[in-house]
Structure 1
Amino acid sequence: MLNNQSQFSQPLKVLHTSDWHLGRRLYGRARYEEFSKFLAWLLETIIRENIDVLIVAGDIFDTMTPSNQAQTLYFEFLGKVSKSCCQHVVIVAGNHDSPSFLDAPKQVLKFLDVHVIGTACDNPSDEVITLWASDGAPQAIIAAVPYLRDRDVRQNRTGQSFDEKDANVIAGICQHYDLVAAEAKYQQSQLKQDFSAHVPIIATGHLFAAGGSTTEDDGVRNLYVGNLGKISADMFDDCFDYVALGHLHVPQLVGGRDHIRYSGSPIAMGFGEARQRKRLILVEFGQDGLTMTPIFVPRFQKLAQIRGDLTQIRAEIADFAAQNEPIWLEVVYSGDALVSDLREQVTQMIQGTTCEVLKIKNPKSYHYALKQDYEFETLQDLDESEVFERCLEAHQITGDQKIELRSAYDNLMALMTEQDRFAD
C-alpha cells in the first residue's frame, strides 16, 4: 500500500512488532522453545531485510514479574540485534509489562541504541525520541507512548456516572497524545530548518481501538474498568506518518486508515488464534512516500482446535496423526450425546501419534455437572471471571446486587493488573 502524501528525503526501513508475551504458557505448557525460535527468526529477518529501526509496541513479557528464562531471551536478543544492521530499537511498555522493570536498564541499553519508555512521562518531550543515522543525519522522530495506565489519564471525581468516567479516560488519552504530537511537530520543524529534510514522525501506542477484532482465548484484557478507554483513529494527530500499535493480537487497521495499524502477536497466544497467519509490518519511508508490507511469521509450534462429535474428533485426530509432525490440540466436544468418558476416549485416539492434547472441553458434561455441584469440572476449565460468576450463582446473587458486585470485582481486577511489583 502506498501513501504519497509525504516525500521523505532519506530512505528508512522500520519493522513494527508487538505482543511477544515472553514467558506465556498455554494450559500450563512452557513455550520458551517457541519464543527462542521466533527471536532467532526475527534477527534473521532484520538482517535479510536490512532493517534500520525495530519497534516493539508493548507486552514484551506476559507478566509483570517475568521469569529468569524470559529475561534471558529478551536481553540476549537485544545484545544480538545491537550488533546487526539495525541501528535503533524502540520499546514501549504494554499493560502486561512492569514499567519500572523495563525502565531499570534503560540508561545502559541506550549505549546499544535501544530506547525504552516503560512509564508514561510527565514531560511529553521525554517520550519524543529523535533517531540519528551513523552519518549524523536524522532518521525519524518517535512519539514513543507506552500503555497509559488508569492513573496516567483519569482524573477521578466523586459522583461520576459510568459514561462520564468513560469520557474522562478518553479525554486523558487524547490530551496525552496531543501534547506528545505538539512536541514531535516542534522537533520536526527544527530538523527541517537545520537539515533541510522532512523527517517522518512515528507514534506508538498500546491501547484498545474502537471496533478492534479479538479472538476468544487470546488473553487480551479490557485495559480499563468495563469498556472504558476505547479510542478511535481520529484521536491521532495528522502529523503522525505511521502509528505502530500493540495490544490486539489480530493484525488489523484502525478505522480503515492504512497508516494506523496493529501488527498483532507473532505467536498464537491461544487455540482461537491457531488459524491466523501471524505477521510483522515492514514500513518503508522513501522519496515515493510510505509503503507497508506484511512479513509473515512461520509457525514454530503447530496448534489446532478440533470441534465436533466423537466421529468428527476421531477423523480429525487421524488426519493430524497422518501428518506425523508434533502438534498441540484443543478438543471441543459439540455432539448431542452425553459422553462422560471423553478424556479417556481422546487419550486412546492419540496413542502412538505425534499429537498432544492440552485441553479437552466437554460442554455437555459441564451442563450436567451444574446439577451435580460441578462434579466433572476442574479449576483449569475456568478463568478468574468464570470462578467469580460461579460464586455469584452459588450464593444466589441476583439483580442490582449482582451488577454492583460485578462492578466491584472488575475494579479490583483492574487494580491488581496495575500493581507494579518492581516499583519502589
Structure 2
Amino acid sequence: MKILHTSDWHLGRSLYGRKRYDEFSAFLDWLGETIEAQGIDALLVAGDIFDTGTPGNRAQGLYYRFLCRVADSCCRHIVVIAGNHDSPSFLNAPRELLRALNVYVVGSITDEPGDEVIVLRNEQGDPQAIICAIPYLRDRDIRTVMPGETIEDKNSKLIEGLRAHYAAVCAIAESRQKELAENENIPNVPIIAMGHLFTAGGRTAAGDGVRELYVGSLAHVGREVFPASIDYLALGHLHVPQMVGGAEHFRYCGSPIPMGFGEALQKKRVVVVEWDRGVAAIEEITVPCFQPLRRIVGSLEDIVNGIGQLKEEQSTAWLEIEYTGAAGQGNLRELLEEALQNTSMEIRRIKNKRVSDRVINSLHQHETLDDLDVHQVFERCLDTFDVPPEERAAMIQSYDEIIKSLHEEDVNAE
C-alpha cells in the first residue's frame, strides 16, 4: 500500500492582486505525474483545497479535472477532507457523484463518527488501509458554550472535544481492524488518520495566511491527543513541512506552493508512505518551484543592487520590496519599475517603512488602525504628506472609485 499525503492547495488564492492559476495548474500536473511515477494507491488531501468557501469557476475546474485525471490512473482512491478555508457544504455537494470515481469527501462531522472511517481495498478486494478522515473541527462541533466560562474553561473544553472525537473515530477504526483480522484473515491493516488543525509547537511563516483556528484560544493540541493506534497521521493547516512532537509518523506535509513572501525560500514537499508487511517507509518528495518569489529589503542602493543581481540570474521572480532608507523617495515605484525594464520580473508589493511609520505615528492617542475605516486612513495619509486642499478632491474621488470597484467585484466570475 502506497499513499501520497498533500494539503493546503488554496486553489484560487491571489498574491497582492496577481492570480496564480498557472502555478496551481503546474502543481496539479506535476502531482498527477508523480502519482503515476510513484505508483501511488491512495491520495490523501488534508484540507484547504480552496482558498475561500466560494471558489471561482477556474479554481473549481482545476479541482475536478485533477480528480478525474487521478481517478483514471493507478491511484485507486482519493480521500479529501475539508480545512478551515473550505466550505463543508460546497465540498460535500458532489460527494455522492464523486464516489463513482472512488473519491471520498468528508466536509464536516456528522452524528455518526463511523461516517469518517473508510476502508480502502485493492483490485482483488483485499483491505489495504483504514482511513480516519477527520475534517476541520469547528468550535461549535466540539464544544458546548456555558454561561460564565473562563478562557481556561474554553481551552480545556476545546482540547477535550478534539481528543474525544479522534478517540471515537479511531476506536471504530480499531474495531474494523480487528474484524478484518478475524473475518478476512488480514491482520494489522494500517490505520491512517487525517486532520486539519494546529498542533502545539507548530512552525509557521510570516505572511502565510495561516489563521488561528479558535478565536481567543490557546488550543494547540499536543501529540498525546491522538490515539496510539494511528500508524500514520496526515495533517493539514500549517504550511511548513514538519513532524508533530518529534513523531516521524505524525506529519504536516505543508503547502505545495509558497502562499506568501515569508515562504519564498522554503522547500515545498509532499509525503509518500509505503507499507510493506506492516512496516512503513516514509519519503518526502520536493515539489518544484513553479513561480519564484523574492523579498528585497534595504536602502534604495541595496534594492537596486538586489534587482541587478536577479537580472544577471535572468530571474522571473515576483518581488516584495521593503524600503528602509532615511530619505523620502516619493517616486520609489517609478525608480524600481525603471530598474526592472526588459526583465520578466514583477513587483507585487512595495513597503515603504518610513511612510508607514509616519502614518501610524500620526494616529491620535488611544487610536489604532482598527479604529479607522478605509476613508479615514486615506485622509490621514493626505494630512501626513501635507497634500494641498485643491489637490485633495480629485485624489479622494479616485480613491473612492477604487474602493467601490473592489467591493463590487464578482469574485466568482473568473
TM-score (norm 1): 0.85
Which of 127, 130, 141 aligns to 2:119? It is: 130
Pair 1:180 & 2:169 matched: yes
* Matched AA of 1:15: L
Residue 78 and residue 387 in structure 1: after superposition, are their counterparts in 2 closer, same or farther (change >3 A)? farther
Residue 138 and residue 161 in structure 1: after superposition, are their counterparts in 2 closer, same or farther (change >3 A)? same
Q: Can you give the 5+ residue segments of structure 2 that lack an aligned partner in the other structure?
A: 378-414
Deviations 1:144-199 (A, max 9, x none): 00000111011100100111111111111111011001101000000011222220
Q: Do 1:339 and 1:365's aligned partners in 2 also have CA atoms closer than 8 Å? A: no
Pair 1:35 & 2:24 matched: yes
Pair 1:206 & 2:188 matched: no
Which of 308, 312, 315 aligns to 2:305? It is: 315
Distance 2:252 2:29 in 1: 22
Which of 344, 352, 355 aligns to 1:365? It is: 355
Distance 2:222 2:110 in 1: 23
Q: Which residue of 2 aligns with 1:231?
A: 221
Distance 1:90 1:114 in 2: 6
Classify the secondary structure of the residue corresponding to 1:261: strand
Q: Do 2:190 and 2:278's aligned partners in 1 also have CA atoms closer than 8 Å? A: no
Q: Which residue of 2 aligns with 1:250?
A: 240
Q: Which residue of 2 aligns with 1:80?
A: 69
Q: Which residue of 1 aligns with 2:386?
A: none
Classify the secondary structure of the residue corresponding to 1:69: helix
1:288 Cα deviation after fit: 6.4
Q: Which residue of 2 aligns with 1:388?
A: 370
Shifted more, 46-55 versus 360-369: the winner is 360-369
Matches within 5 A, 1:288-303: 289-303=279-293
Q: Do 2:118 and 2:131's aligned partners in 1 also have CA atoms closer than 8 Å? A: yes
Distance 1:123 1:46 in 2: 32
Q: Which residue of 2 aligns with 1:66?
A: 55
Q: Do 2:360 and 2:369's aligned partners in 1 also have CA atoms closer than 8 Å? A: no
Which contiguous aligned blocks of 4+ residues in structure 1 show a shift greater than 6 angstroms? none
Distance 1:121 1:371 in 2: 50
Deviations 1:330-356 (A, max 9, x none): 001223444333222212211222211
Identity value in percent? 50
Shifted more, 200-209 versus 335-344: the winner is 335-344
Q: Which has the higher contact order (CA 8 A, sep 6+)?
A: 1
1:372 Cα deviation after fit: 5.3
Q: Can you give the 5+ residue segments of structure 1 that lack an aligned partner in the other structure?
A: 1-11, 375-385, 396-424
Distance 2:279 2:324 in 1: 51
* Matched AA of 1:364: R
Distance 1:387 1:132 in 2: 55
Classify the secondary structure of the residue corresponding to 1:231: coil
Which of 278, 303, 321 aligns to 1:331? It is: 321
Distance 2:67 2:7 in 1: 15
Distance 2:62 2:271 in 1: 22
Distance 1:44 1:17 in 2: 14
Distance 1:288 1:176 in 2: 26
1:238 Cα deviation after fit: 0.6
Q: Which residue of 1 aligns with 2:259?
A: 269
Classify the secondary structure of the residue corresponding to 2:217: coil
Classify the secondary structure of the residue corresponding to 1:94: coil
> Aligned-residue CA RMSD in angstroms?
1.7
Distance 2:372 2:279 in 1: 55
1:207 Cα deviation after fit: 0.2
Classify the secondary structure of the residue corresponding to 2:273: strand
* Matched AA of 1:58: G
* Matched AA of 1:105: P
Q: Do 1:321 and 1:354's aligned partners in 2 also have CA atoms closer than 8 Å? A: no
TM-score (norm 2): 0.87
Q: Do 2:151 and 2:217's aligned partners in 1 also have CA atoms closer than 8 Å? A: no
Classify the secondary structure of the residue corresponding to 1:217: coil
Which of 213, 221, 226 aligns to 2:211? It is: 221
Pair 1:144 & 2:133 matched: yes
Distance 1:358 1:55 in 2: 33
Deviations 1:74-115 (A, max 9, x none): 000000100000010000000000101111111111110000
* Matched AA of 1:175: A
How many pairs are equivalent?
Answer: 371
Distance 1:342 1:330 in 2: 13
Distance 1:72 1:58 in 2: 18
Residue 180 and residue 365 in structure 1: after superposition, are their counterparts in 2 closer, same or farther (change >3 A)? same
Which of 262, 268, 271 aligns to 1:278? It is: 268
Distance 2:362 2:170 in 1: 58
Classify the secondary structure of the residue corresponding to 2:4: strand
1:308 Cα deviation after fit: 1.5
Deviations 1:27-72 (A, max 9, x none): 0110111101110000000000000000000000000000011000
Deviations 1:223-269 (A, max 9, x none): 01123431011101010000000000000011111111000000100
Q: Which residue of 1 aligns with 2:11?
A: 22
* Matched AA of 2:72: K
